[in-house]
Structure 1
Amino acid sequence: MLGRTYEAQDCSVARALEVVGERWSLLIIRDALFAGSTRFRDFQRALGVASNVLSARLEGFVQAGLMERRPEEGHDAYVLTAKGRDLQPVVMALADWGDKWAAPYGPPVAFEHADCGGGARQETYCAVCAEDLGPGDVVAVRRAGPGTAGPAGRRAAE
């Protein structure tokens, strides 16, 4: 079984998985982003997740700065922070993949622009030439800098 941390990985994907990589995490974030869920019982009812698991995930999100706990009449509200809302493109990209490879009867949900109803989609493009990029068009390149491990990196100085 995999551990919960990836200390040996000098990779932002691994670091992100430490925060949102557990089974229910992105479903909770999805419901907060797109269904407006903020109440414990609403998450639990929609997802069917065990209360101890949901409690642990929500507390972890608060500790990680993805959500804030706000007292409201008779309950706590779990509200996404800017850091949590920044997961929207991740959830949409995962849904796009699922629509293509895991939805035999077609996409069960469509993402739309709230103002005009137009379809919303994720795109990958070059920041220099604006060319649309597909699989095989992108490579990962390590560069010495403040976030890398090694002599020139911040983590080496810790």
Structure 2
Amino acid sequence: MQNRSNVVSHRALAPKTTISILRADILLEELVMDKHILSLVKICFVKECNWHPEEKAVVCTFHKHDAIITVRLVFNNDTGKEGLVITDITTMPEPERGKGYGSIVLHTILTWARESKFTHIQAVQVSNNSECFWSQNGFQRTNNETNDFRFTLED
């Protein structure tokens, strides 16, 4: 159970956006030093970003019309220091799936990643029923046993 006193929020970055640090011993200055996360939360329809420093991950919630899209991004994974990993992307409620909201969010993240000078994004452990989504959005299947898809960012 999370202790409420361990949550630090900062709302000055973008209207109606919250960044939460989930451990009291992680200072807000450490988050401010990460320009990538700060630039991500400035995207107009990001409603919340929760930073998990021990995992080098951020979970962002986007709102588009009646849909809520949640994306988990991991920084500095084994894909290389310029890489970014998407471990999860979901659209809820279920009737809002298939309307293109996930693609809108994904292309927003791709634009942000390119501007932030990342070299690639990798979607990991892609399920069979979502392979078409990743392919239609420009990701290429990698030849590994975990069924990852990769997008190479170019200037």
Shared fold (TM-score greater than 0.5)?
A: no
Larger Rg: 1
**Larger strand share, 1 or 2:** 2
**Larger helix share, 1 or 2:** 1
Which structure carries more relative contact order (alpha carbon 8 Å, separation 6+)? 2
